[in-house]
Amino acid sequence: MRFSVETLSLLVLIALGLGAMALVFSALRAGRRREEPKGPIQLDDALRGILEGHAKQLSRLEAAVRSLHATDKEQQRLIEGAVRHIGLVRYDAFEDVGGRLSFSCALLDDAGNGVVLTSINGRQDARVYAKPVLGGKSSYHLSVEEDEAIRQALAREAVATT
């Protein structure tokens, strides 16, 4: 099918006119303000069901996060009370016994509470002492080695828990 030049020119002019009219109508339409809907927006049942399902899932997730937070706090409290700071001093308690078999070992939590254990080894016997420690101090008389073991334990960083 062949059109003459006059027919093609006419079709081009009609297309340009229709395009111009479309631009005018869209400009007029954009200039008008849209009216706010009067009343609540109506949602269809499928969309309402989806949104309600998401709301329930969010509620469950929030409850789970609260529960995990409480568990985390409890575990942190338990970790702080666990033995995490250790100091060890080995020495010869007697001149006639070598090998540094005697020792004092401090086992403390984050607050400096715990125990210092001392084992004094001689030729014929060994004696073991345990003295409580609160806040890095003991109500019992401490030897130089026991003081050093406590100082070492308090000076060291706790083992990383992460």
Lowest mean per-residue pLDDT among 15-24, 79-88, 137-146: 15-24
CB-based contacts of 131: which residues, under 8 Å, 6+ apart?
115, 116, 118, 138, 140, 142, 146
Question: What average pLDDT does the segment 154-159 reach?
Answer: 70
- pLDDT tier for residue 161 given thresholds of 50, 70 and 90: very low
Lowest mean per-residue pLDDT among 2-6, 125-129, 143-147: 2-6
pLDDT score, position 133: 96
Residue spans per domain, the chain: 85-155
pLDDT at 35 over 80: no
> In a 10 Å sphere around its CB, with 0-12 CB exposed, 13-18 middle and 19+ buried, how is residue 89 labelled?
buried
Cα 140 to chain centroid distance, Å, stands at 41
Apex CA 35: angle with CA 30 and CA 40, to 5°? 135
Does an H or E element contain 24, and which?
A: helix 5-31
Encoded tokens for 115: 């125990």
**Helix, strand or coil for residue 117?**
strand
Question: What average pLDDT does the segment 50-54 reach?
Answer: 84
Query: How far apart (Å, rounded) are the C-alpha atoms in residues 81 and 84?
Result: 8
pLDDT at 162 over 50: no
pLDDT in tens, 95-139: 777 788 899 999 999 899 999 999 998 888 889 999 999 999 999
Strands in 114-121's sheet, in edge-to-edge order, are 85-91, 102-108, 114-121, 126-133
Lowest mean per-residue pLDDT among 90-94, 130-134, 150-154: 90-94
Do 108 and 154 touch, CB atoms closer than 8 A? yes
pLDDT score, position 39: 62
Lowest mean per-residue pLDDT among 44-58, 78-92, 110-124, 127-141: 44-58
pLDDT at 152 over 90: yes
